[in-house]
Amino acid sequence: MSLTEAQIQETLRKLVDPNTGKDFVATRSARNIKVSGDEVALEIELGYPGKSQHEPIRRQIIQGLKASGAGTVSVSVSSKVVAHAVQRGVKLIPGIKNIIAVASGKGGVGKSTTAVNLALGLAAEGASVGMLDADIYGPSQPMMLGIAGRPESKDGKHLEPMENHGLQAISIGFMIDVDTPMVWRGPMVTQALEQLLKDTRWRELDYLVVDLPTPPLPEATAMMFLMPGISLTPRCTACATTFELMPTETPPAPAAFSAWVTWRRIGSCWLFPG
């Protein structure tokens, strides 16, 4: 049975990516479609990290095309993370496509653990990921990632991120003695956070995961404003929040704040006492 490219595209419109809920034509994932008689070859380029999904999606498309009359089907699946759109005029940070900020309503609820596991999970799916430990008073990412030492500066102006477990990472914990108490306050902390964010030479990141300071410190709010959803610096269109279950079941500051600055909140983690 001889097929046409139009028939192949029509079949692909009926096949839905289980991870996005959209078909492969609508997401412009189907590329380089070649048809010769009943032989079909095409490429699928996913816009998200999904190494574990490549083979299931390849089988799904082969089965769908063969059910539509194709004989021999060759499908190549790959991922290329896309950058989410931000407001016009926003100045982006070089080398970073997307920022995911992880916030909490209070301390001790697993924010840093959530952040590092999110980063490792994205890296395991094939993404290039960085971790910014913005918790000035309690930097825990050096210990969680098993990284020791101090970052280098090749030009005397920018820091080179430390690396382990496939992640690029920067933290104030790399630059201070762990036994030395932090007595910085206000503008000093905000300036340090801004330098960690902007003066690190990030190398082509698909995602930068930011472990935000714990509210209600003003530094936490200042750091949020350094990363747009609003209109200030890099690319930040997502915010994940962790908080304890309140008697009123009302999400506290991070969820409300993400809505206020027009961030896109991608997830919440409810922690049940006891």
When divided into structural domains, the chain yields a total of 2
11-65 confidence digits (pLDDT tens): 999 999 999 999 999 999 999 999 999 899 999 999 999 999 999 999 999 999 9
The verdict on 66 and 160 lying in the same domain is no
**Residue-level pLDDT at 123:** 94
Cα separation, 62 vs 57, whole angstroms: 9
User: pLDDT digit string (tens) for 187-234?
Assistant: 666 677 777 787 889 999 999 998 877 765 555 555 555 554 322 223
Assess whether 103 and 13 both reside in one domain.
no
Contact 219, 139 (CB under 8 A): no
**Residues 32 and 167 both lie in one domain:** no
Q: Return the pLDDT at 127.
A: 95
Range of the domain at 248: 96-271
Task: Pick 223 or 235 by higher pLDDT.
Answer: 223
Higher pLDDT pick, 105 / 3: 3
| Residues 62 and 139 grouped into a single domain | no
H or E stretch at 56: helix 54-67
Tell me which DSSP letter residue 240 carries: E
Asked if residue 100 has pLDDT above 80, the reply is yes
CATH code of the domain containing 172: 3.40.50.300
Give yes or no: residues 34 and 145 share one domain: no
Residues 122 and 191 in one domain: yes
Compute the average pLDDT of residues 110-127: 90
Residues 38 and 163 reside in one and the same domain:
no
Whole-angstrom distance between the N-terminal and C-terminal Cα of the chain?
A: 63
Query: pLDDT digits over 153-166, tens only?
Result: 888 788 889 999 99
The reply to whether 85 falls in a domain is no
Q: Can you tell me the distance from the alpha carbon of 239 to that of 257, in angstroms, rounded to the nearest whole number?
A: 10
pTM over 0.95: no
In a domain, 84, yes or no: no
Measured CA to CA, the distance from residue 122 to residue 234 in angstroms comes to 20
The b/e string for 90-129 (b: 16+ C-beta within 10 A; e otherwise) is: beebebbbbbbbbbbbeeebebbebbbebbbebbebbbbb
3-class SS at 55? Answer: helix
Q: What is the CATH number of the domain that holds 65?
A: 3.30.300.130
